[in-house]
A and B are shown apart, each in its own frame.
Chain A
Amino acid sequence: MDTARDLVIEERKDSISTKGKHKKQLKCDTDSVAGCVSQRACVYCGARVVLNPITDAIHLVHGPIGCASYTWDIRGSLSSGSDLYRNSFSTDLKEEDVIFGGEKKLAKAIDELVANYPSKLVFVYSTCIVGVIGDDLEAVCKAASQRHNIEVIPVQSSGFIGNKSAGYRAACDALLRLIEPQEQKIKKTNSINYLGDFNLAAEAWIIQNYLKEMGIDINVTFTGDSSYDALKKAPGASLNIIQCAGSMTYLAGKMKEIYNIPYLNISFLGIEDTSESLRKVAAFFNNKEMMARTEALIERQTQKVLPVIEAYREKFAGKKAAVYVGGGFKAISLIKQFREIGIEVVMIGTQTGQKDEYETIHELVDEGTVVLDDANPAELEKFMVEKGAHLLVGGVKERPLAYKLGVAFIDHNHDRKHPLGGYVGAVNFAKEVYSTLCSPVWKYVDSMGGV
């Protein structure tokens, strides 16, 4: 049976495929179809997610209040320094501003904020109406920058100009402006930049410790626990490694072009990917001692983690998982991670996966697995039920749907309070799967395959 055939929305059919049944390339990276209840957010969201972890910046949203309200401190990025980033500032545009323009208000807002919260860096996020009423963000930011002798960087993130991926790109453009050396050349070092880790629940710190043990210093992380000064040194790294490819590949490409910094795609989700990634980074430096240290680290950590995972694995026999996450890299790692704990992925989708990522997903999954891009609740429900998933991985919006279906749930979102990266993350992941899949609650529910 063609699983896409009985779906009601014609425009969505090319965005859904079943391995072994469809040969055609999955349609992805397009605008969402109206009325389909997409789970995606907007350009502004994409930009804000990427830039917000910069701890000592003023994050000012130029727009009506909602955009700032819905993004105030909702992410779990941790800081070792300033916590200015945990404030949400807004120009709170009103009707008269929409009619007469918001430039003056924006300029005053920057002045007030800089006076109250001394900082070397201000990001000004553009929202939908700013793009329409035609405020000259560049000019206002440039003038403010000169007035205060700090950097005031506009982020072109009007919601309608594309999907979340366009926001990632807007954020990367802002970052490129920020790291561009003003006068003197940045000194090259042996250190690396770590791209696409937002230090959710200390994940960037965990990876930093691994690299340190191997003998590698992180120059700066984009953007978890980063600061103005640290980001300014970014061009001095000798290698960029990318975790969240969806948001950071563009930046890495540009940094290669401009600063001649090569990059490697890595993933620190799951034991296999973590070990593989650490080896890949060590291999880049082509240093025997470093390789030995790396192998020792991998050996020690794996020995510690494997028995724990093995114990959990026994409990998960015969269980099936569905995955719906933001980016493709996370989806790919999750397939492998589920395999590590003996769970088959029967449905997998992303909000912003790219063509090559879907190709990899297609190669990795078993026959019969449904792959979907930019899914909606109706499709998630349909395929979870059809495929008999016992567990869904997703974000806040997907959680209640899973629970109402009597399906276990893993929070793989930016709000999580426990690390899912590195070896400790692999254990936490298995533990979380156990806590939800094997909870006694399902005994009381006539669920589709509850334990």
Chain B
Amino acid sequence: METTHCRNVNENPCNMCMPMGGILPFKGLEQSMVIIHGSQGCATYMRRHIAEHFNEPVDVGSSSLNEKGTIYGGENNLKQGIDNIIRIYNPRVIGILTTCLAETIGEDIDRIAADYLEERGLKNLPIITVPTPGYGDSHSEGYWLTVKKIVVGVARKTAKHGKINVITPNISPADVREIKRILDLMKIKYTLLPDFSDTLDRPFAKPYKKIPDGGTKLADIARMPGAAATIQFGLTVEDGMSPGKYLETEFGVPLYNLPIPIGLENTDFFIKTLREITGKAMPKVLEQERGRLLDCMIDSHKYNFEGRSVVFGDPELVYAMAKTCIENGTFPVVVATGSKTGKLAELLAPQLCDTLNKFYILDESDFTQIRETGIEMKANIAIGHSDGRYLTEKAGIPLVRMGFPIHDRMGGQRLLSVGYTGSAMFIDRITNTLLENKLINYRSKMYQQYYQGTEDEYQCFPEC
């Protein structure tokens, strides 16, 4: 029997490549620039994708490797590239991401970066290198590995302090702002990494700045080893790529690896953990918000129960979205990611098995497989990034846009889905999509079924 892991062809990818994921954390660092060591196209394609999602200028350098550099080594290209990046942008930190090409020709970027700093006498400029071959892993792993390498590169042993570390996955700038608001409401001091809440969703202002204000401060990252604890929204992250795990192993900072706070249980888990770590109480405002979320869940529970969902995207987000669907009765019949991970099945299968429904958990998946499985499972709603529009077009499954990239609608950067308030907004988006679809179709459906149609057939549960 063939499994999904050894297919020879990917039909309509559900994931992107590793360096793409690596760009985003660098955009969440204060005054940082990133350069991709590879051919010019990689940087351009990724910039295009990221710019279209955030509606922000996204400047990313390239070492623009040509044939000569590929044969004789791209060291000169990379060094010239860094020179020019410094001249144009004058950043306080530079990230270097590799590509398929650089890794295949065996570029030693650590050595090149060290030589560069030595030769130019730039001892104080941090350069953070991340090996991100496109054939290695997906953009999700590229993201996590980059966050880890930033921590490894910048964090230093420091005296204990009262702050906590909060490490976030690829969620929207609005979500990052919401997490910061919750922490502020609870009067908790924190270092959030990577903080692209301003850099990738900047307010209109003049004059234009080539590197936007905002981002996690390097000095704060340096002090992360002195924190009281790390909260990392990285339940699906392998230990080897986990920045929180690194801080725990190297510096003894206790790690609380939590799901993204989307949905009631996940948000409760977050708040409970914050209370445990800091001893602070849940403020009245948050209690009110929790109550409103419950109210929202009750108001729409019957509509939500009609949903049979296809949930896809980055593993971490998929877990949180699937969990929210389970809570609200929008049963996830297909849970899929393009990444290679056993964690989703490990975490979700026990929760899904609780019900009478049949379900699929697919990793290393693509949209042809997701579509076919969705049709087989009679899915009526999809939740994930814009590439899922294909499910709407080809299989008539309406799509609630969520995650990255959202390139065919406005406002991906402003989508709020975390915390009690964000969860209610997320659930409303799901409910309203189900309702819209039902209301558009029910007249013709009833007409076909009862005016022109045949005898009813009865089932207790759709799949029991």
The complex places the Cα of A44 from the Cα of B42 at a distance, in Å, of: 10
Instruction: Choose, from A31-39, A303-311, A332-340, the stretch at the interface.
Output: A31-39
Interface check B104, CB cutoff 8 A: yes
Residues of A within 8 A of B104 (CB): 98, 128-129, 132-133
A41/B44 in contact, CB under 8 A: yes
A66/B45 in contact, CB under 8 A: yes
Instruction: Choose, from A140-148, A154-162, A229-237, A249-257, the stretch at the interface.
Output: A154-162
A89/B10 in contact, CB under 8 A: yes
Q: How large is the interface on B (under 10, 10 to 19, 20 to 34, 35 or more residues)?
A: 35 or more
A38/B64 in contact, CB under 8 A: yes
The complex places the Cα of A155 from the Cα of B67 at a distance, in Å, of: 17
B57/A404 in contact, CB under 8 A: yes
Interface check A100, CB cutoff 8 A: no
Residues of A within 8 A of B43 (CB): 37
Residues of A within 8 A of B136 (CB): 95
A68/B13 in contact, CB under 8 A: yes
The complex places the Cα of A91 from the Cα of B60 at a distance, in Å, of: 27
A159/B44 in contact, CB under 8 A: no
Residues of B within 8 A of A11 (CB): 84
Q: Specify which of B41, B44, B133, B210 lies most central, judged by the most chain A CB atoms within 10 Å of its CB.
A: B41
B50-94 vs A: 1/0 string, CB under 8 Å?
Answer: 011011111111111111011000000110111111011000000
Taking the closest CB of chain A, its distance from the CB of B31, in whole angstroms, is 16
Instruction: Choose, from B14-22, B259-267, B313-321, the stretch at the interface.
Output: B14-22
Residues of A within 8 A of B178 (CB): none
B1-39 vs A: 1/0 string, CB under 8 Å?
Answer: 000000111111101110110000000000000010011
Interface check B387, CB cutoff 8 A: yes
Interface check B117, CB cutoff 8 A: no
The complex places the Cα of A399 from the Cα of B13 at a distance, in Å, of: 26
Interface check A118, CB cutoff 8 A: no
Contacts A64-B134, A397-B44 given; indicate if A32 touches B62 (C-beta within 8 A): yes
Q: Which of A66, A95, A113, A132 contacts B17 (CB 8 A)?
A: A66
The complex places the Cα of A40 from the Cα of B43 at a distance, in Å, of: 9
A34-52 vs B: 1/0 string, CB under 8 Å?
Answer: 1111111111110000000
Q: Which of A159, A404, A446 contacts B101 (CB 8 A)?
A: A159
A34/B100 in contact, CB under 8 A: no
Interface check B208, CB cutoff 8 A: yes
Contacts A132-B104, A160-B39, A162-B67 given; indicate if A37 touches B9 (C-beta within 8 A): no
The complex places the Cα of A94 from the Cα of B80 at a distance, in Å, of: 30
Residues of A within 8 A of B69 (CB): 160
A35/B82 in contact, CB under 8 A: yes
The complex places the Cα of A397 from the Cα of B61 at a distance, in Å, of: 14
Contacts A92-B10, A446-B206 given; indicate if A35 touches B61 (C-beta within 8 A): yes
Q: Which of B65, B135, B206, B387 contacts A98 (CB 8 A)?
A: B135
Taking the closest CB of chain B, its distance from the CB of A50, in whole angstroms, is 15
Interface check B47, CB cutoff 8 A: yes
The complex places the Cα of A160 from the Cα of B42 at a distance, in Å, of: 10
Residues of A within 8 A of B40 (CB): 32, 38, 40-42, 159, 163
Residues of B within 8 A of A43 (CB): 39, 41
The complex places the Cα of A69 from the Cα of B88 at a distance, in Å, of: 30
Taking the closest CB of chain B, its distance from the CB of A15, in whole angstroms, is 14
Q: Which of B41, B52, B65, B208 contacts A45 (CB 8 A)?
A: B41
B13/A45 in contact, CB under 8 A: no
B135/A44 in contact, CB under 8 A: no
Interface residues of B in 209-258 (CB under 8 A from A): 210
A33/B80 in contact, CB under 8 A: yes
Interface check A139, CB cutoff 8 A: no
Interface check B166, CB cutoff 8 A: no
A400/B101 in contact, CB under 8 A: no
Interface check A401, CB cutoff 8 A: yes
The complex places the Cα of A405 from the Cα of B206 at a distance, in Å, of: 8
Interface check A381, CB cutoff 8 A: yes
Contacts A68-B13, A112-B9 given; indicate if A37 touches B61 (C-beta within 8 A): yes
Interface residues of A in 383-421 (CB under 8 A from B): 395-397, 399-401, 403-406
Taking the closest CB of chain B, its distance from the CB of A372, in whole angstroms, is 15
B101/A65 in contact, CB under 8 A: no
Interface check B282, CB cutoff 8 A: no
Residues of B within 8 A of A396 (CB): 48, 51-52
A378/B88 in contact, CB under 8 A: yes
A90/B13 in contact, CB under 8 A: yes
A328-365 vs B: 1/0 string, CB under 8 Å?
Answer: 00000000000000000000000000000000000000
Interface check B429, CB cutoff 8 A: no
A70-108 vs B: 1/0 string, CB under 8 Å?
Answer: 111100000000000001111111110110000001001
Interface check A283, CB cutoff 8 A: no
Q: Which of A378, A397, A405 contacts B48 (CB 8 A)?
A: A397
Residues of B within 8 A of A376 (CB): 88
Interface check B138, CB cutoff 8 A: yes
Taking the closest CB of chain B, its distance from the CB of A237, in whole angstroms, is 33
Interface check B442, CB cutoff 8 A: no
Interface check A4, CB cutoff 8 A: no
Contacts A34-B64, A94-B135, A132-B70 given; indicate if A72 touches B13 (C-beta within 8 A): yes
B62/A108 in contact, CB under 8 A: no
Residues of A within 8 A of B12 (CB): 72, 87-89
Contacts A33-B80, A41-B40 given; indicate if A381 touches B17 (C-beta within 8 A): no
Q: Which of A91, A95, A404 contacts B204 (CB 8 A)?
A: A404
Q: Which of B9, B133, B134, B202 contacts A91 (CB 8 A)?
A: B9
Interface check A377, CB cutoff 8 A: yes
B206/A36 in contact, CB under 8 A: no
Taking the closest CB of chain B, its distance from the CB of A132, in whole angstroms, is 5
B348-366 vs A: 1/0 string, CB under 8 Å?
Answer: 0000000000000000000
Q: Which residue of A lies closest to B100 (CB)?
A: A129
Taking the closest CB of chain B, its distance from the CB of A48, in whole angstroms, is 10
B64/A405 in contact, CB under 8 A: no
Interface check B49, CB cutoff 8 A: yes
A132/B101 in contact, CB under 8 A: yes
Interface check A258, CB cutoff 8 A: no
Interface check A292, CB cutoff 8 A: no
Residues of B within 8 A of A445 (CB): 204
Interface check A327, CB cutoff 8 A: no
B11/A89 in contact, CB under 8 A: yes
The complex places the Cα of A60 from the Cα of B10 at a distance, in Å, of: 9
The complex places the Cα of A97 from the Cα of B20 at a distance, in Å, of: 21
Interface check B164, CB cutoff 8 A: no
The complex places the Cα of A1 from the Cα of B133 at a distance, in Å, of: 45
Interface check A246, CB cutoff 8 A: no
B9/A60 in contact, CB under 8 A: yes
A69/B41 in contact, CB under 8 A: no
Residues of A within 8 A of B49 (CB): 70
B44/A88 in contact, CB under 8 A: no
Residues of B within 8 A of A179 (CB): none
Residues of B within 8 A of A105 (CB): 8
Q: Which residue of B lies closest to A131 (CB)?
A: B70
The complex places the Cα of A399 from the Cα of B57 at a distance, in Å, of: 8
Interface check B114, CB cutoff 8 A: no
The complex places the Cα of A359 from the Cα of B63 at a distance, in Å, of: 30
Q: List 26 A-B contacts (CB under 8 A).
A: A31-B66, A35-B80, A36-B64, A37-B60, A41-B40, A42-B39, A42-B41, A44-B41, A64-B134, A64-B135, A65-B134, A65-B338, A70-B16, A72-B12, A98-B104, A128-B70, A128-B100, A132-B105, A377-B57, A377-B210, A397-B48, A399-B55, A400-B51, A403-B55, A404-B208, A446-B206
Known: A37-B59, A38-B44, A128-B70. 4 other contacts (CB 8 A): A35-B85, A41-B45, A66-B20, A395-B48
